Structure 1
Amino acid sequence: MLTYVYRVTKYDPADREGHGRYTGPEDTVSDHGAVEGAYLRAVAAFAADTGIDHLVVREPQIPSLSHFGVEPPVDGFGLARLFPSGQAAFHDGARMPLDIVLELVRVMLRDSGAWCRLEAEDTFAVHVGWDQYLYISSSRPCEKALARTRELGLFSERLDASPYALEAEEEEQVIQRPADDDFWADLHRAVVTGRAGILEETYLEGASRWHHLTSDTIDPVRVGLTPRARLAVWPSLSTDIDAVVRALPADGLVEGVWQDEGGNIRSVIADEDEFPELTARISRAHAAALLSVYAGERVPLCTAVMPDNDGVLRARWRTEPTPSDGDWVLRQPQG
Structure 2
Amino acid sequence: MQLPYVHRVTKYDPADRDEHGTYTGAEDTASDHGPVEAAYLRAIKAFAADTGVERLSVREPGVVSLVHFGLEPPLEGFGLDGLLPNGLADFHDGAEVPLDIGLELVRLMLRDAGAWCRLEVEGAFAVHVGWDQYLYIGSSRPCPAALARTRELGLFPERLDASPYAFEPEEDGVLRPADDSFWAGLHRAVVGGRAGLLEEMYVDGASHFHRLTGSGHDTLAARDTLDAVRAGLAPRARLAVWPDLSSDVGAVLAALPAEGLVEVVWQDGRGRIHSAVADEEDFSELPGLMAGAEAATALSLYADERVPLFSAVMPDADGVLRARWQAPRSVDDAAREPRPA
The answer to whether residue 277 in structure 2 is matched with residue 269 in structure 1 is: yes
What aligned pairs does 1:180-219 form with structure 2 within 5 A after superposition? 180-214=179-213, 215=222, 216-219=224-227
How far apart are residue 329 of structure 1 and its match? Answer: 7.9
Q: Superposition RMSD on alpha carbons, in Å?
A: 1.7
SS, match of residue 136 in structure 1:
strand
How far apart are residue 277 of structure 1 and its match? Answer: 2.6
Q: Tell me: CA distance 1:123–1:315, structure 2 relative to 1, closer, same or farther (3 Å).
A: same
Question: For residue 182 of structure 2, what is the amino acid of its counterpart?
Answer: F
How far apart are residue 327 of structure 1 and its match? Answer: 4.9
Residue of structure 1 in register with 2:153 after alignment = 152
Question: For residue 185 of structure 1, what is the amino acid of its counterpart?
Answer: A
The answer to whether residue 281 in structure 2 is matched with residue 280 in structure 1 is: no
The answer to whether residue 309 in structure 2 is matched with residue 308 in structure 1 is: no
What aligned pairs does 1:156-167 form with structure 2 within 5 A after superposition? 156-167=157-168
TM-score by length of 1: 0.94
CA distance in 1, matches of 2:38, 2:336: 50
CA distance in 2, matches of 1:321, 1:32: 41
Residue of structure 1 in register with 2:141 after alignment = 140
Verify the 8 A CA contact 1:212 1:264 in the aligned structure 2: no
CA distance in 2, matches of 1:133, 1:61: 18
Residue of structure 2 in register with 1:9 after alignment = 10
The answer to whether residue 20 in structure 2 is matched with residue 19 in structure 1 is: yes
Question: For residue 213 of structure 1, what is the amino acid of its counterpart?
Answer: L
Residue of structure 1 in register with 2:88 after alignment = 87
What aligned pairs does 1:1-335 form with structure 2 within 5 A after superposition? 1-167=2-168, 170=169, 175-214=174-213, 215=222, 216-327=224-335
Verify the 8 A CA contact 2:39 2:153 in the aligned structure 1: yes
Q: Tell me: CA distance 1:172–1:280, structure 2 relative to 1, closer, same or farther (3 Å).
A: closer
SS, match of residue 37 in structure 1:
helix
1:158-189 C-alpha deviation (Å, 9 max, x unpaired):
1111111124xx36875522100000001111
How far apart are residue 328 of structure 1 and its match? Answer: 6.2
CA distance in 1, matches of 2:337, 2:238: 17
Verify the 8 A CA contact 2:267 2:273 in the aligned structure 1: yes
Verify the 8 A CA contact 1:175 1:329 in the aligned structure 2: no
Verify the 8 A CA contact 1:201 1:231 in the aligned structure 2: yes
How far apart are residue 86 of structure 1 and its match? Answer: 3.3
CA distance in 2, matches of 1:272, 1:197: 27
CA distance in 2, matches of 1:252, 1:186: 33
Q: How many residues are paired up?
A: 328
SS, match of residue 57 in structure 2:
strand
Aligned-residue sequence identity (percent) comes to: 68
TM-score by length of 2: 0.92
Q: Tell me: CA distance 1:193–1:186, structure 2 relative to 1, closer, same or farther (3 Å).
A: same
CA distance in 2, matches of 1:11, 1:40: 16
Verify the 8 A CA contact 2:196 2:243 in the aligned structure 1: yes
CA distance in 2, matches of 1:72, 1:102: 20
Residue of structure 1 in register with 2:218 after alignment = none
Q: Tell me: CA distance 1:171–1:52, structure 2 relative to 1, closer, same or farther (3 Å).
A: farther
1:271-329 C-alpha deviation (Å, 9 max, x unpaired):
22322332223342011111111121112111111011121111111122113134568
Verify the 8 A CA contact 1:177 1:325 in the aligned structure 2: no
Deviates more, 1:13-22 or 1:29-38: 13-22
Q: Tell me: CA distance 1:234–1:119, structure 2 relative to 1, closer, same or farther (3 Å).
A: same
CA distance in 2, matches of 1:327, 1:245: 30
Q: Tell me: CA distance 1:173–1:312, structure 2 relative to 1, closer, same or farther (3 Å).
A: farther
